Amino acid sequence: MQNIKNKINQIKELLKSWEYAYYVLDDPIVEDSEYDFKLNELKQLELEYPELITADSPTQRVGGQISENFEKYNHKFPMLSLDNAFNDNDLYDFDKTIKKETINENYTYFVEPKIDGLSISLIYQNGIFIKGVTRGNGIQGEDVTFNIKTIRSLPLSINDKEDYFEVRGEVFLSKKEFQRINDERKKNNEELFANPRNAAAGTLRQLNSKIVASRKLDVFLYYYLNREKIKTHSDSLDYIKNIGFKVNPLGKLCKNINEVIKHISYIESVRQDLDYEIDGAVVKVNEFKYYDDIGYTSKFPKWATAYKYPAEVKITNLKEIFATVGRTGKITYNAILEPVSLAGTTVQAATLHNAEYIFTKKIRVGANVKVKKAGDIIPEIIEVVNDEIYSNLKTWEKIEQCPACGSDLEIFSDEVDQYCINFNCERKIIKSLEHFVSRGAMNIEGMSIKIIEKLYENKIINNVTDIYNLKSKKNEILSLEKTGEKSFSNLINAIEESKKNDASKLLFGLGIRYVGSKTSKLLLDKFKSIQTLMSADITEIESIHDVGPKVAKSIQDWKKIDSNIILIQKLSELGINMNSLKQIVKENKNIKDKSFVITGTLSKPRNNFVELIEINGGKVLNSISKITNFLLAGDDAGSKLDKAKDLQVNIINELEFLQMLEGNNEN
């Protein structure tokens, strides 16, 4: 048995060295076929002697683990975010702060690319990888260990045998792998990922680790927490690199802030040549001994900052302008562009909003245009290039008929948008159905726009009530291409589950003009049921704070249509909940009667925080004013943060908000 154990260990060490050369050094030393042969040899030995399988075996990377959900894990040390710098002056101000806290001391900086991915914490025990945890809210993350183990550049065992070893980094997808995944999804008629970061985040949260393994995630490590035996950040990176971790090669030690600025500029100059996305550079004081003196805020360390690069701008040709119609009948104009690589993805289209937008920017078909990604996600046309081509192009003219049904379009007196007002417009019906089943409304999982289109085209559904009769259409649905028993069963279960939703979700799903998700909640808080709302007069509705006459008139107009009232009756008869389920579960004295504005990127969707505030007796506003009690600010908070500072509104981060929730409650 000892001979078998020795042989297994020899193969594991050999495979480990080959993986390191291939995935970390990007310098393969054997052919793929030789690697596969040795891996299969190891698999066979482990099949014969399963008691010799260890957690660090290369065979344990392949995936296949299915999780029902991800367990929460409390970080031993908070995973703080970083403050931002946007120009050289911001960096000089950052340096002044450091100089103030380290008087008469010699300090240096370390600069490295800011990888556009998903932050992760990796924990090892006695040299063996035992846990991978997402950042989450900085205090608590999700245990994604099985998914992390599929990352080939990550060592499953290291030569540091400490009882507790923690290192942090960024999980990402290469541009090449991102393109491959989207090409595959396109062939399968699946929704495309917007960018590599979204794809990496979605992959890491996959419940099936076999899917994760197929997507070839990668990771750069940048922060070593066991700092007792190491004095500087640069030394810590050298250390973790020497024991097998992948460290970004563009990191550089800089003597002063001018060298920092120079290296940040260099990283930006090579940004487009990298096979991974970056959105800036991170600057850290290199010497650990100054960290406590420089200090921390509750949100970020003051000894580091993230320099954000401006959005990339490219010039391309606008080939065509076309219009689409939404669920309300609103016409949206879109541009087809000559494909151009922008911020790591190939951009072929951009929204042009409405005709007024096109006229204002003097956009013409055939023009060369400057394009950027708003927030590095949504393609946006900044302006046309006034060149020789442009002067010979015809002025664009807006359409007058609906692109879906051909009906005449209308413009309401107080708006610039065009609308199709034909109730029987097919595209409006399909988009209305899509809205009804969406996450913010009835949240019927599995009912994508493609499923809706298929059911509509086959005359299986025509309106929202038909959704709740799909159980009786089993044979018809199963006869459709790519529809199986399990998919059908999951869909029916999701439909049945949606009947229990709070009535505010149904009200939002009905698509009444101006009645958004927040307004739906306000209305149901007041009237308690949809039937009561439908019986209310316009004065009662418009008297609600944050509702007003515009919304009230829209509801009044909607309920004047007999078919709409019949729709409410049918939905009620089908067992859909018509009542508000909201009750204040607990009134937290820190939250009760306080007003909050939420801005920036938080660890969970905005609605999660809205619900937490509301069930604890507080209310959420859309804009900052003197009456606002708190601004809950996440990353990239923007103008609301500036206004809150000007008005001296209390600014809290997610951690501080959670601490408020944990305060004394009034029952």
Q: Binding site residues, as ranges?
A: 32-36, 81-82, 112, 135, 170, 284, 308, 402, 405, 420, 425
DSSP reduced 3-state for 239? helix
Q: In what order do the strands lie in the sheet with 252-254?
A: 84-85, 304-308, 278-285, 109-115, 252-254
Half-sphere exposure of residue 154: CA atoms within 13 angstroms, side-chain side: 34
Q: Which residues pair with 628 in a beta bridge?
A: none
Supply φ then ψ for residue 300, to 5 degrees.
Answer: -150, 160
Terminal Cα-to-Cα distance of the chain (whole angstroms): 65
Q: Could you tell me which of 523, 465, 525, 541 has the C-alpha nearest to residue 499?
A: 465
DSSP reduced 3-state for 166? strand
Distance of CA 242 to the CA centre of its chain: 34
Q: What is the Cα–Cα distance from 228 to 288, expressed in whole angstroms? A: 10
Give the Cα-Cα-Cα angle 233, 234, 237 (nearest 5 degrees): 85
Q: Where are the alpha helices (DSSP H) in 57-174?
A: 88-101, 145-148
Q: Could you tell me which of 659, 661, 662, 665 has the C-alpha nearest to residue 299?
A: 659
Summarize the annotated binding site for Zn(2+) as residue ranges.
402, 405, 420, 425
CB 185 within 8 A of CB 192: yes
Q: What is the Cα–Cα distance from 388 to 145, expressed in whole angstroms? A: 58
Half-sphere exposure of residue 84: CA atoms within 13 angstroms, side-chain side: 12
Q: What is the Cα–Cα distance from 15 to 17, expressed in whole angstroms? A: 5
Summarize the annotated binding site for NAD(+) as residue ranges.
32-36, 81-82, 112, 135, 170, 284, 308
Q: What is the Cα–Cα distance from 245 to 258, expressed in whole angstroms? A: 30
Is residue 613 classed exposed, middle or buried when 0-12, 13-18 and 19+ CB atoms within 10 A define those classes? buried
Half-sphere exposure of residue 632: CA atoms within 13 angstroms, side-chain side: 30
Give the Cα-Cα-Cα angle 212, 120, 596 (nearest 5 degrees): 110
- Looking up tokens 């380290």 gives 102
The one-letter code for the residue type at 525 is D
Q: Which residues are catalytic?
A: 114
Q: Could you tell me which of 596, 631, 625 has the C-alpha nearest to residue 611?
A: 596
Report in angstroms the alpha-carbon separations of 49 from 4, 14, 18.
Answer: 9, 19, 24
Q: Could you tell me which of 133, 147, 143 has the C-alpha nearest to residue 61?
A: 147
3-state helix, strand, coil in the chain (%, to 5): 40, 20, 40
Q: Could you tell me which of 239, 238, 230 has the C-alpha nearest to residue 289?
A: 230
Supply φ then ψ for residue 64, to 5 degrees.
Answer: 120, -15
- Looking up tokens 């090669």 gives 249
Q: What is the Cα–Cα distance from 351 to 332, expressed in whole angstroms? A: 8
The one-letter code for the residue type at 134 is T
Q: What is the Cα–Cα distance from 508 to 512, expressed in whole angstroms? A: 7
Is residue 236 classed exposed, middle or buried when 0-12, 13-18 and 19+ CB atoms within 10 A define those classes? buried
Say how many C-beta atoms besides its own lie within 10 A of residue 461's C-beta.
Answer: 23
